[in-house]
C-alpha cells in the first residue's frame, strides 16, 4: 500500500536518476566535464518537464475518456445505449475507442477561416483559450507530496487564470464576423462575469476558515475523517453547492450552456470554428471543467484525504481522482436532468440568488469561526444560511410586475 501511495513519486525519482546517470555516462564518454550547477540545471528542467508532460497526458486522457463516457452516461439516462461500436476489428471494447475516431475526424477536417474574419484574432483565440486551461491544474494537490507547484496563494492564481478564458471566448466571437458568434460571446461574458462573483465568494469562505490561500494548507485543514471536510458544515455545504453551480456556469455546462446553445445560436462563439481549432476549444472546456472540479475537491471535499482513517490504505491520489470522477459524473447527471436556462433567468439567478447566498455563507462561516462552542456554532451558521435560502428561494423568482390588466388594441 505504501508502494502504491508512492508510485508516482518513485517513478519520477527513477526517471531523474536515469537522466543523471545518462548525463554522467555521456560526460565520461565525450570527456566534457559538466559543472555541478549544469547537472542540477538539467535535472530541474527534466523534473519540471516531467510534471508538465504528466499533467497534460493525464488531463488529455481524462478528456478523451470523458468525451465518450459522457455520451454513454447521458444515453443510459435517456434509455439508450450511446456510442458502443467503435472498436478494434472484431472487438468492440464498448465503444471506448470513440475518441480516437473523433480525433481522426477532427484532425482531417478542413480548417476554415471566414473571408471577413479577423484572421489573427481568429487564430489566437483557441490558443488563448487552451493555455490558461492547461495552466489551471498546476496548483491542485493530487496526492500526498504531489503538488506540481506549491504556491502560497494558489487559489488566487487559479481564479485569476480561470477568469482569462472569458477574453478568449470574446476574441473568438468577435473575430468570427458572425452575428451568432458575437451573440454567443456576449452571453458568455455576461454569464461568466455574473458567476465569477459567487464562485470566488464561496472560495473566499474556505480561505477565511482555513486561514490560508494555499491549496495544500486547505487540504491539510480537512484531514482526519469525513467530518472534517468543509462540506459537512452548514456554511461549507452551502458554499460547496454555490461553488458547484458556479463551476457549471464557468465551464459552460448544462444547464448553463447558453453561450453555445445549439438550438438558438447555432453554436455561439464556436460557429465559425472547424477542425483542429474546434477540438482545441472543446479540449480547453473539458480541461477547465476538470480543473475547476479538482478545485472543488480541494476546497470542500477534503482533497486527497480518505473519508475515514481505516480507508487510508487506498492511495491518496486515488481518493482525489475518485472524487474528481464522481464530480464529473454528477455534471453529466445534471446535464441529463435540467433543461437550459433562459438568459434573463440565468442572470436573475446569479444576481438575486447566488450572490446573496454566497454572502450569507460568508457570514455563516464567520459565525462558525467566532462563536465559542460547537452547538452554538452549528445553530448559528445553520440559521444564517437557512433563512436566506428559504426566503430567497420563495420570493426572488416570482414576478411581482406580472401583467394583469392587459389591453388588446384591436381584438376587443
Partner 1 sequence: MNIPGSGILKGMAVTALNFVGSFLDRAHAKRLITEQYPEERPTLPEASRSFPFLIFDGNPETGIRCVACKICEKECPPQCIYIVQDKDANGKAIRRPKVFDIDISVCMGCQICVEVCPFESIRMDNIYEVSSYDRFSALVVSKDKLLKSNEYYHQIHPTEADATDARIEAARVKKTATAKAAAEKAAAAKAAAAAKAAEEKAAADQAAAATTTQPEQPAQ
Of 232-240, 285-293, 310-318, 334-342, which segment contacts partner 1 by CB under 8 A? 334-342
Residue with smaller CB distance to partner 1, 80 or 119: 80
Q: How far is the CB of 248 from partner 1 (least distance, A)?
A: 12
Nearest distance from residue 384's CB to partner 1, in Å?
Answer: 17
Which contiguous run of DSSP H or E holds residue 347? helix 343-348
Between residues 81 and 313, which has the closer beta carbon with respect to partner 1? 81
In 3D, which of 217, 210, 220 has the Cα closest to residue 316?
220
| Cβ at position 394, least distance to partner 1 in Å | 6
Tell which positions 11-30 bind partner 1, by CB under 8 A. none
Q: Which residues contact 177 (CB under 8 A, 6 or more apart)?
A: 114, 116, 117, 118, 272
List the one residue from 55, 64, 73, 238 that touches partner 1 (CB under 8 A).
Answer: 73
Is 394 among the residues that bind partner 1 (CB under 8 A)? yes
Grid coordinates in use for 298?
A: 480541494
With beta carbons less than 8 A apart as the criterion, state whether 222 and 297 touch: no
Task: By CB under 8 A, tell whether 389 contacts partner 1.
Answer: yes
CA distance linking residue 189 with residue 172, whole number of Å: 12
The SS3 assignment for 91 reads strand
Q: Does 179 bind partner 1 (CB under 8 A)?
A: no
Residue 91, strand partner residues: 88
CB of 200 to partner 1, least distance (A): 23
- Position 227 contacts partner 1 (CB under 8 A): no
Instruction: Compute the least distance from the CB of residue 91 to partner 1, in Å.
Output: 14
Q: What angle do CA 196, 201, 204 make, to 5 degrees?
A: 125
User: Between 2 and 398, whose beta carbon lies closer to partner 1?
Assistant: 398
Q: Report residue 319 as a C-alpha cell.
A: 481518493
Nearer to partner 1, 226 or 392 (CB): 392
Does residue 48 bind partner 1 (CB under 8 A)? no
How many angstroms separate the Cα of 335 from the Cα of each of 110, 118, 253, 256? 30, 34, 7, 9
Q: How far is the CB of 338 from partner 1 (least distance, A)?
A: 7
From the list 23-31, 111-119, 358-366, 392-400, the region that binds partner 1 by CB under 8 A is: 392-400
Q: Whose CA is closest to 75, among 338, 341, 333, 339? A: 333
Among 57, 149, 338, 383, binds partner 1 (CB under 8 A): 338
Rounded Cα–Cα distance for residues 24 and 13 (Å): 16
Regarding 333 and contact with partner 1 (CB under 8 A), the answer is yes
Identify whether the C-beta of residue 169 lies closer than 8 Å to the C-beta of residue 185: yes
Question: x/- contact string, 74-93, with partner 1 (CB under 8 A)?
Answer: --xxxxxx------------
Strands (E), 42-123: none
Which residues bind to partner 1, rule: CB under 8 A?
A: 73, 76-81, 333-334, 336-338, 389-390, 392-394
Amino acid at each position: 500500500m505504501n508502494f502504491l501511495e508512492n508510485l508516482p513519486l518513485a517513478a519520477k525519482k527513477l526517471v531523474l536518476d536515469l537522466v543523471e546517470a545518462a548525463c554522467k555516462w555521456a560526460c565520461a564518454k565525450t570527456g566534457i566535464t559538466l559543472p555541478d550547477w549544469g547537472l542540477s540545471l538539467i535535472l530541474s528542467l527534466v523534473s519540471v518537464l516531467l510534471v508538465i508532460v504528466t499533467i497534460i497526458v493525464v488531463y488529455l486522457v481524462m478528456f478523451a475518456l470523458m468525451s465518450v463516457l459522457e455520451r454513454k452516461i447521458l444515453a443510459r439516462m435517456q434509455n439508450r445505449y450511446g456510442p458502443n461500436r467503435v472498436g478494434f476489428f472484431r472487438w468492440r471494447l464498448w465503444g471506448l475507442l470513440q475518441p480516437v475516431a473523433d480525433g481522426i475526424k477532427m484532425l482531417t477536417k478542413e480548417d476554415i477561416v471566414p473571408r471577413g474574419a479577423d484572421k489573427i484574432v481568429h487564430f489566437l483565440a483557441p490558443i488563448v483559450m487552451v493555455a490558461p486551461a492547461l495552466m489551471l491544474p498546476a496548483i491542485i494537490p493530487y496526492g500526498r507530496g504531489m503538488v506540481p507547484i506549491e504556491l502560497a496563494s494558489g487559489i488566487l492564481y487559479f481564479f485569476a487564470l480561470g477568469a482569462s478564458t472569458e477574453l478568449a471566448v470574446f476574441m473568438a466571437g468577435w473575430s468570427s464576423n458572425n452575428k451568432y458568434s458575437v451573440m454567443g460571446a456576449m452571453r458568455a461574458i455576461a454569464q461568466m462575469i455574473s458567476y465569477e462573483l459567487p464562485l470566488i465568494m464561496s472560495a473566499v469562505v474556505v480561505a477565511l476558515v482555513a486561514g490560508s490561500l494555499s491549496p495544500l494548507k486547505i487540504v491539510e485543514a480537512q484531514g482526519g475523517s469525513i467530518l472534517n471536510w468543509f462540506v459537512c458544515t452548514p456554511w461549507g455545504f452551502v458554499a460547496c453547492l454555490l461553488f458547484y453551480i458556479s463551476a457549471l456556469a464557468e465551464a459552460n455546462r448544462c444547464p448553463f450552456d447558453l453561450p453555445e446553445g445549439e438550438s438558438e445560436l447555432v453554436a455561439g462563439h464556436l460557429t465559425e470554428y472547424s477542425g483542429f481549432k474546434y477540438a482545441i476549444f472543446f479540449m480547453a472546456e473539458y480541461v477547465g471543467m476538470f480543473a475547476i472540479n479538482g478545485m472543488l475537491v480541494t476546497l470542500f471535499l477534503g482533497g486527497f484525504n480518505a473519508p475515514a482513517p481505516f480507508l487510508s490504505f487506498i492511495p491518496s491520489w486515488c481518493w482525489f481522482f475518485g472524487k474528481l470522477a464522481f464530480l464529473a459524473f454528477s455534471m453529466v447527471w445534471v446535464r441529463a436532468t435540467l433543461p437550459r436556462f433562459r438568459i434573463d433567468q440565468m442572470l436573475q439567478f446569479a444576481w438575486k440568488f447566488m450572490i446573496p447566498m454566497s454572502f450569507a455563507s460568508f457570514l455563516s462561516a464567520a459565525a462558525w469561526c467566532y462563536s465559542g462552542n460547537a452547538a452554538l456554532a452549528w445553530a448559528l451558521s445553520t440559521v444564517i444560511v437557512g433563512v436566506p435560502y428559504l426566503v430567497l428561494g420563495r420570493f426572488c423568482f416570482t414576478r411581482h410586475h406580472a401583467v394583469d390588466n392587459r389591453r388588446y388594441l384591436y381584438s376587443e
